[in-house]
Amino acid sequence: MMQRLQKILSDFGIASRRKAEELIKEGRVTVNGQIAQLGQKADPEKDYIKVDGKLLIRPEPKVYYAFYKPRKVITSLIDPQGRLTIKNFLKGIKFKVYPVGRLDYDSEGLLILTNDGELAYRVMHPSSEIEKTYLVKVDGIIEPETIEKLRKGIKIEGKLAIPVSVNFIKKLKANSWIKITLHEGRKRQIRKMLERVGHPVIRLIRISIDGIKLGELKPGEYRALTKEEIEELKKKAGLIKKAQK
């Protein structure tokens, strides 16, 4: 069946659709010996498709994992500076998986890992409105009026950042814990919001992604997603139609 090349590369677990487009633009993809063009279609059953000279082979089974990214670890498979990456913790996974989205170097918590490029693309797209929830330890005792200010939104780089919810959890001697849920995921958004209200982040932990929970995982551990978790995530991403009531 004829399909767009970027979808084929995504289905084969080569890269996300966005990254696949870059590979095609860079001239790194060929179809039957000819350099591919963006928007070109091919039949993976009949055509010889190569990336960087390597022939595409049958896709691996799609796999999905929840991973607890520790602090001081790069959300990447390679780091030119030689720092720890998530790859250092994934030696028990047989297939090459990629992180869905990112977590800052100093942040920790839940990452979804998969070789399902289409799902990754859909989950990361803003239109999916996937909810992500974080526990955040901040400097100082945060007051109710500051919580309310965060709920109404904080302007970052000229654009209002409005969380889905903000809740006070508890106060310590000189710090506070709060819980924040977001739809969007702008770079260092939570840290910037809290700096603006005078409560810099001390620790930031992502505890859930649209109902998939960190649970009992410890830093550096991973687990396979359940069938139910995968199905719900695909529904949210629009890959499975929701049942009509």
Q: What is the CATH number of the domain that holds 31?
A: 3.10.290.10
Q: Please indicate, yes or no, if residue 227 is contained in any of the structural domains.
A: yes
Beta strands in the chain (DSSP E): 3-4, 29-31, 34-35, 41-42, 49-51, 54-55, 64-69, 98-100, 108-114, 132-139, 154-156, 159-161, 165-171, 175-182, 201-209, 212-213, 222-224
35 and 144 assigned to the same domain: no
113 and 224 assigned to the same domain: yes
Domains identified in the chain, total number: 3
148 and 27 assigned to the same domain: no
Q: Please indicate, yes or no, if residue 202 is contained in any of the structural domains.
A: yes
pLDDT, tens digit, for every residue of 20-69?
Answer: 999 999 999 999 999 999 999 999 888 999 999 999 876 678 899 999 99
Name the catalytic one among 47, 104, 106, 139. 104
73 and 177 assigned to the same domain: no
174 and 185 assigned to the same domain: yes
Q: Please indicate, yes or no, if residue 136 is contained in any of the structural domains.
A: yes
Q: What is the CATH number of the domain that holds 152?
A: 3.30.70.1560
71 and 91 assigned to the same domain: yes
Three-state SS for 108?
strand
User: Which pLDDT band, with edges at 50, 70 and 90, does 219 fall under?
Assistant: very high
pLDDT at 202: 97
**Residue numbers of the domain that contains 106:** 64-127+211-237
pLDDT, tens digit, for every residue of 73-132?
Answer: 999 988 999 999 999 999 999 888 999 988 999 999 999 999 998 888 888 877 777 899
Q: What is the CATH number of the domain that holds 97?
A: 3.30.70.580
Q: Please indicate, yes or no, if residue 245 is contained in any of the structural domains.
A: no
* Helices and strands (H and E) in the chain: how many: 6, 17
135 and 205 assigned to the same domain: yes
69 and 109 assigned to the same domain: yes
232 and 121 assigned to the same domain: yes
What's the predicted TM-score (pTM) here?
Answer: 0.74
Q: Is 43 a catalytic residue?
A: no
